[in-house]
Homo-oligomer: A and B are copies of this chain.
Amino acid sequence: MLQGRCTTQKLAIAAVLRDIHDHPSALLIHERVRESLPNISLATVYRNLENMVAAGFINAIAGAPECRFDANTMPHHHFLCQGCHTLSDVPATGAGVSLLYPDSIDGCAVTGAQLLFSGYCQACMPGRPSAF
């Protein structure tokens, strides 16, 4: 799982990612890791996250103001609330979502697809009765 040398910092970052099940930004990950490793630098967090994304251990989620990370590498989609900017998981199947796409589009090799839904969560539903 970990590449290269096994450092305390890498283990601490991996442990945080394993425990967090929401979609933390790099800054939040740094904050959490500092609980167990107060001296770890933000640059180290960024460098290790970059390596983990490259290794496929975590996913980088596009679409939020900052880049967020996701330790859940199972295929799934995301929902971004436009009210509170919360990012939540949407199962790849079972939520009524159906996505099919070919391996290549217009001669381009497609290696992955990110589906980002936007809208409003129950708490942020604008101008609608809460019974919606």
- A contact residues vs B (CB 8 Å cutoff): 62-64, 79, 81-82, 88, 90, 95-102, 105-122, 125, 128, 132
Contacts and interface: CB of A to CB of B under 8 A. Distances in A.
B110 A119 contact: yes
Q: State the oligomeric state as a number of copies.
A: 2
B115 A108 contact: no
B118 A112 contact: yes
Contact of A79 (B82, B99, B105, B118): B105
A108 B79 contact: yes
Contacts of A119: 108-112
B95 A106 contact: yes
A87 to B, nearest CB: 11
